[in-house]
Amino acid sequence: MRFDQVTVIGGGLAGSECAIQLADRGFAVKLCEMRPQVSSPAHHTDHLAELVCSNSFKSTCLDSAAGLLKAELERMGSVLLDCAHRAAVPAGGALAVDRVTFSELVEAEVAARPNIEVVHGEVTQIPEGHVVIAAGPLCSPALSEEVMKLVGGDALAFFDAAAPIVDASTLDMDVLFSQSRYEEQGSGDYLNAPLNKEEYEAFIEALTTADRVVLKDFEGGDLFQACQPAEEVARTGKDAIRFGAMKPVGLTDPRTGRRPWAAIQLRAENKEKTAYNLVGFQTNLTFGEQKRVFHMVPGLENAEFFRYGVMHRNTFVDAPHVLDGTFAVPGTGVRLAGQITGTEGYMEAVATGLLAALNTYAEAIEVAPVELPRVGALGALVGYATDPATVGYQPMHVNFGLVPPLEDGKRRSKRDRYQAYADRALDALDAYLARRSDLFGGDRS
């Protein structure tokens, strides 16, 4: 190998998976974890791979993107997924774990590899050599400053403010119309959901009185100073949002031939236009309330959500514009993994940790990097997170809105369509893994 030593910063899900995978490929790994010397507002222990929120890794069903991701990671040899299965507690069709047992199993896997040295203490400077930064969404101020120097100040965000994303196939196209402001009807990059005065006023009443997520103490006022949620804008006056995100100027509803009283614009998330986001509707409403309130919008009555809107503290880089296709900072020995890349979710963190290890190994033995099929859950997420054409990058978890549509054009129920996505993805992944025995099998020395 060209090099055989790697520093991994962060002992969470991504960092632990990465360190284990690197060690299994012959690297001497220094795994740096700032706890217990320095803690974060969200952590409660000094254990590796602590689950700071839910104890659920989401669905195991193949007709869900979360279940497909697990099937892909199992084929790719994820150690933390195996730990999760061994720490599982009853949870129906989901994979939920005993938090303490899970962390203990991960720590045992790390301890079983003598070529991993765990170093406790805050990293305030990025070391020389080959480094994987997997510092998580609450990256320390000192390390955040170092990352900022590396990628540029404008490329590092400290707050996650994402609008809901809906499944295009569940939208009522008899009501929605395609038009960019001041362009001809039927043209443009946006779908528009028109509201009359009565519909608008009912929507605003629901939006401003709906239940909101209770923020953690450390998120507080700074979050709303960084980005006001739509419901807060609406509270400043009944027409405030009608002169902002819901302004109808330049639009003509083809059903009436007139400008609507207000409109919500939807922008495509991908070139296939299988998913749309609600422009300007970053929100702090609970998921259940988002579903209720947005179902009041004409054309969205039956909309299904690929992702609900979220707002919280989250340190992440503008990955599509500052990282390469392997999540590396071009021209350096530094690669990123976990939520700092803008990928969202427990298993997504594990997956990017695995990818960081594989791509570091590929670099060391001078073979092609990992290029997962874009029809898979992980391949589609990586594509979204590293495509320079991605606009307004916000953290994203795996979802079927990111994968290309099925090519046969057959009409299917949602469940059958998702199962077909999964079948296609696993066939493509199996073929890819068979071609890449240099990374996924054989002699790794």
Helix (H), strand (E) at residue 334: strand 334-336
The identity of residue 11, as a single letter, is G
Q: In whole angstroms, how far apart are CA 381 and each of 119, 250, 390, 398?
A: 31, 34, 12, 6
Binding residue per annotation — 121?
no
How long is the chain? 445
Closest listed residue to residue 268, CA positions, set 418, 158, 168: 168
Binding residue per annotation — 237?
no
The identity of residue 349, as a single letter, is A
The C-alpha atoms of residue 282 and residue 213 are separated, in whole angstroms, by 13
Buried-exposed string 93-130: b where 16+ CB fall within 10 A, e elsewhere: ebbbbebeebbbbbbebbeebeebebeeeebeebeeeb
The C-alpha atoms of residue 290 and residue 283 are separated, in whole angstroms, by 8
Q: Which two tokens stand for residue 263?
A: 């409109």
Binding residue per annotation — 12?
yes
Binding residue per annotation — 15?
yes
Q: What phi-psi label fits residue 273: left (phi over 0), alpha (psi between -120 and 50 degrees) or beta?
A: left
The C-alpha atoms of residue 268 and residue 273 are separated, in whole angstroms, by 5
The identity of residue 328, as a single letter, is A
Contact 398, 67 (CB under 8 A): no
Q: Classify 408 as helix, strand or coil.
A: coil
Contact 339, 159 (CB under 8 A): no
Bridge partners of residue 119, in order along the sequence? 32
Bridge partners of residue 343, in order along the sequence? 396
221: Cβ–Cβ under 8 A, 6 or more apart, which residues?
Answer: none
**Which residue's structure tokens are 């602590």?**
50
The binding site comprises 10-15
The binding site for FAD comprises 10-15
